[in-house]
Every structure is written in C-alpha cells, then in structure tokens.
Structure 1
Amino acid sequence: MSGSSHYKPADAADRQKYISKDANGVITIKPRGLNVIWGADERYWKIDTKNDDSAAELVQVCWLEVTGEIQVKDYLEAKKEYKLIFNVELKPDAFGWKESPVHFMVKPGTRGRMWKRCYLGSSPKNTNKMDPFQASRDDKDPGLKFKVAEDAKTVYFGMFEIWNGTWKGGLKIINVEVKPV
C-alpha cells in the first residue's frame, strides 16, 4: 500500500498472491488484489489488510473506481473467450445505487475495450450475493464476455461510477471471477 489514500497491492508479486485459478479454469481475484480509489481511507472504504479473504466494503464515495489486471501468460489463453463477473453484495442500508448506473470494463489487449452498464440497486433482494449483471435493467446476460487478444500481455478490468456525482455506499466486493466461456 502506498502513502496515498488509494489502496493498491504493494507490487506485482503482492498482487499475484490474491489471484488463483481452479481446476475448471475459473480465475478468482480477491479484493486485496484490486486497486481501489480512496480505498486506503477508512472514511470511504473498509479493507481488512490482515484478512486476505475479507470483502472490501464501501462506506461512502461519490467516485467509485475499482480496477485490476491479470497477466495473460500466468492465467489466460490468447484467442480464448472469457466472462468477467464482479461478485458483489448490497447491504440492507445501501444507498445511492438506483440513481447511479455502474459501468464495467475489460481491455483484453492493446486495442479496444468492452463496456457494460447495470443498476445494482434495481434488484429486489439487495442483501443476497448477486451477479450485478443480473440486476441490470437493460441487459439480462450476466457477465461481460471478452476474447483475449493474440498480442495481449495483460488484461485490464474495472468497475466505475464516476460520472453521476451522487454519494453511494453499502456495497461489498466479494471477489472478481473470470470464467472460460
């Protein structure tokens, strides 16, 4: 973690210890392996730096930006299709989500990005673990599908709500999964 108010894994080796791949090829990134804007300031986020398996809990922000990266050579295959899913949970006292669509992004190579938008607050059961893409009003297909570019060394991804300017809170990031399609 750096001296700023943003949470980042210390270095590439530190980031790698929060990424795992199971026998089915599902990659799981724990919250401590993500970059969280304002994440080192407990007024905005709670990130337990002593428990590797804990969720990252949003207290309140008006600028939501959570990003990560996966090294292709270690976890992915070029030209193969995957699905990115942020596994999140809204606490019963969550606020600001109905008015604030969240944008998810994947950059699977040197060119191009894929985006998907959803409203996390539109789910009637906001206290259960959910795939945020299933809560979307305008898209019923869960996840953000992408194909790893042939020349890709790193796949970048993120979760953003930086345009609306409204305060939001009560979000827990359980993990991020990347599944083969």
Structure 2
Amino acid sequence: MKQNRRQWNGTRSNDPVELVQVCWLEVTGSVEVKHGKKYQIGFKISLKADAFGWGGCPVFMMAKLGKKGKYTSRKMKPLDHLGKEAAEIPDEKVEILVPEQGENQLYFGLYEVWNGKWKGGLLIHHAFIREVK
C-alpha cells in the first residue's frame, strides 16, 4: 500500500494501519470469489484513545461484483462507539451472492466521503471476505 504519512501510518504487515488525519475516508480492495457462493464482507477496526471526528459521521461499507456492478451498501453505526479493543464490523452484515455465471471479481470498501469533517485515530487491523455456508 502506498502511504502518505500525513494520512496513514503503519508499515509492518501484522500491525494495524493507523488513519492519521483525513476528511475523506476511502479504504478499498478486491478479491476473486467463486461462482455460486455467498460472501460476507467486513473489517476489523478500533479507535485510538485520541481518535477524533467520528461522532455522527455516516460510515458505509460497500461491495459489488465487477467494475460496472451495482453496489450493495450498509450504513454503519457511528464509529465513535468503538473502543481500543479491535472489533469486527459490521453489526449489520454486508453479504453478496455470486451468480453461477458472470463476474467473480468482488470490489469492496469502507467509506466516509460525505461529511467533510477531519477525522483520525482509526486503526484498521484487517479486511475480511468470508464464505457464508
């Protein structure tokens, strides 16, 4: 991951990445998934003690199949309720069913791009894509 030190901090692969300060949060990834399966998308995150700007921010988790696919999204609870202990989100699940035919590249992300408030102190431990049985 290419990092701007004013926005992100963290270089070791096993440590969480720290959001230092941004007014636009967009954390994205993609992965190839199997046709005919259902997947749950989420992130394991926490907030530092000095985190700021998360009160009332509309944070969304979104996922779609293929670059031109339609997003499935869920509005998360404001992140200011999180503590220093890492927790998996969402409480509301983001799940996506991969049809038997068509796209199998899953694009996903965590977004807060509407508020314009400066925010920081978010720790992202990892993203996960789980097959739902």
- TM-score, length-normalised on structure 1? 0.66
Structure with the higher fraction of residues in strand conformation: 2
Deviations 1:39-80 (A, max 9, x none): x211111031xx222211111100111110102xxxx21121
Q: 4+ runs of 1 displaced by more than 4 Å?
A: none
CA deviation vs aligned residue, 1:105-162 (integer Å, no higher than 9, x gap): 1012453210011111134xx111112323xxxxxx3x31111233114110111111
How many pairs are equivalent? 129
Aligned to 1:55: 16
Q: In structure 1, how many angstroms separate the alpha carbons of the residues matched to 2:46 and 2:81?
A: 13
1:45 partnered with 2:2: no
Amino acid at match of 2:115: N
Structure 1 gap ranges (5+):
2-6, 8-39, 135-140
Q: 3-state SS of the aligned residue for 2:26?
A: strand
Distance 1:41 1:111 in 2: 30
What are the residue-to-residue correspondences of 1:69-88 with 2, within 5 Å? 69-71=30-32, 76-88=33-45
Name the residue aligned to 1:121: 80
Taking structure 2 as the reference length, the TM-score comes to 0.88
Q: Which amino acid is the alignment partner of residue 130 of structure 1?
A: A
Quote the sequence identity (%).
Answer: 36
RMSD: 1.5
User: C-alpha distance in 2, partners of 1:146/1:67?
Assistant: 16
> Larger % of helix: which?
1
Residue matched to 1:20: none
Contact 1:120 1:132 in 2 (8 A): no
Unaligned runs of 5+ in 2: none
Relative contact order: is structure 1 or structure 2 higher (C-alpha 8 Å, sep ≥ 6)? Answer: 2
